[in-house]
Amino acid sequence: DTDPAPDLRSVLPSEVNSKYNTIYGIVFDAGSTGTRIHIYTFHQRAAGSPLELDGEIFESVKPGLSAYANQPEKGADAVLSLLQLAQDAVPSSHWQKTPLILKATAGFRLLPVHQAEGLLSEVRKVFNSSPFLVPENSVTILDGTDEGILAWITVNFLTGRLHGDHSVGTLDLGGASTQITFLPLNKATLDETPQESLASFELFNSTYRLYTRSYLGLGLKEARLAVLEASVSVAQQEQTFRSHCFPPALNGSWVFSGVTYRYGGHSDGLTGFHLCYSEVQRIVVGKLHQVEEIRHSPFYAFSYYYDRAVDSSLIDFENGGVLEVRDFAQKAREVCDHMTSDSSHSHFLCMDLTYITALLREGFGFEDGTILQLTKKVRNVEMSWTLGAAFHVLQSLLLLE
Ligand SMILES: O=c1[nH]cnc2c1ncn2[C@@H]1O[C@H](COP(=O)(O)OP(=O)(O)O)[C@@H](O)[C@H]1O
Ligand SMILES: [Ca+2]
């Protein structure tokens, strides 16, 4: 993209008028399971000085935009309703210089192109009739590489690690895809990693050369479908998909991306962790690139790693916590070996925990003792790639120097 970015310095208030230069950025995350708005407020003490994050306003709606593939206008309505929040949060004097972007993730990568484009073009209409600054390519599908990098930037920025040598790797588990990102330190990693898994990124006058991989279809919800060997066409024939990850007497139905899937336990009466693990293992083994360097390195993990750790009482919802990979394994065993069809937790908890265990151990190749820092928010700001995206757009608009 060779178009020069518009120079917006001319529309910024002169520094003499305000003590600090306040900057806003609005980022929509069109995820596979929901649409979220993140309204960030930053300030700069002077032009050229580092950007400081003051806070975030966050709101979300379900289902994800990709569920409106056949009703794009209705999808855009969800965006419009969230955008109202931004008009309330950002002072009208700043609207014209506040960038507004939406990035769609894995749910969109799985849609036929004409449906994805139909939805994005309805969103563009909503954006263009808003009072905010709509940069070029404001509404797009984010590719998996950028998703991983931007999340890594967010986590390392929020934990104050961006400028030192002690960065931390990140693990994101969405509904449809999953990402792993870290800064490689060993030469062997750089030599053995395919070029497409290494990406350079410039931010705040530094260049970061990161390892990042995104696996489409290995998000938690898509993984359920893979374990169940479920397809849309078979689901529409009202067939029941069976698994040993459910109690034998169980029958249920699950709506995902607008499709109803019937599921249940096996009539052979067998269930439990061991059988469940072997079903889940099939979709993971040999499917992911493994890196020796990170087998013991601590990682930050969020999204469904966090949610399922909360659901199974491994961590506290508010505070998160520090776990080892083996904690997910032990919890999976505990849940799967004591399932009843009337238990209070989700019918999928056994399968989900077992999948997380297999993904960490046999997918990425982590050791049982590898430490996972489960964190949702730092200083009340969500761990999400959206903050990295806000930095990126502000930088490209020359609002940062
Ligand atoms: O701002 C956020 N902070 C932390 N987790 C988030 C945020 N937004 C979404 N999530 C988590 O992401 C997961 C859903 O994934 P998503 O719908 O983004 O799928 P995708 O990334 O595969 O498109 C859930 O665990 C949800 O709690
Ligand atoms: Ca996501």
pLDDT at 399 over 70: no
Ligand 1 proximity of 303 Cβ (cutoff 6 Å): yes
H or E stretch covering 240 = strand 240-242
pTM: 0.93
| Of residues 129, 138, 60, 125, the one with CA closest to residue 99 | 138
Is a pLDDT exceeding 70 seen at residue 12? no
Does 219 sit in the ligand 1 pocket, CB within 6 Å? Answer: yes
Give distance in angstroms: CA of 306 to centre of ligand 1.
Answer: 10
In the reported structure, the alpha carbon of residue 155 is separated from the centroid of ligand 1 by a whole-number distance in angstroms of: 14
Report the catalytic residues.
147
Bridge partners for 212 per DSSP: 181
DSSP letter for 234, please. H
Tens digit of pLDDT for each residue in 89-143? 999 999 999 999 999 999 999 999 999 999 999 999 999 999 999 999 999 999 9
328, pLDDT greater than 90: yes
Q: What's the 173 CA to ligand 1 centre distance in angstroms?
A: 8
Pocket test for ligand 1, best of 33, 61, 348 (most atoms within 8 A of CB): 33
pLDDT (tens digit per residue) in 146-197: 999 999 999 999 999 998 789 999 999 999 999 999 999 999 999 999 999 9
Answer whether 122 contacts ligand 1 (Cβ < 6 A): no
**Whether residue 175 has its Cβ less than 6 Å from ligand 1:** yes
Nearest CA among 246, 205, 202 for reference residue 227: 246
Instruction: Ligand 1, residue 38: give the atom nearest the CA.
Output: 1
C-alpha 15 to ligand 2 mean position (Å):
37
Beta partners for 29? 36, 103
C-alpha atoms less than 13 angstroms from C-alpha of 337 in its C-beta half-sphere: 8
> What is the DSSP annotation of 34-84?
-EEEEEEEEEESSTTSPPEEEEEEEEEESS-GGGGTT-HHHHHHHHHHHHH
3-state SS assignment for residue 121: helix
Alpha-carbon distance values, 284 to 89, 223, 281, 319, 361 (Å): 43, 9, 5, 30, 10
Interface confidence (ipTM) of the complex: 0.98
The CA distance from 57 to 85, in Å, is 9
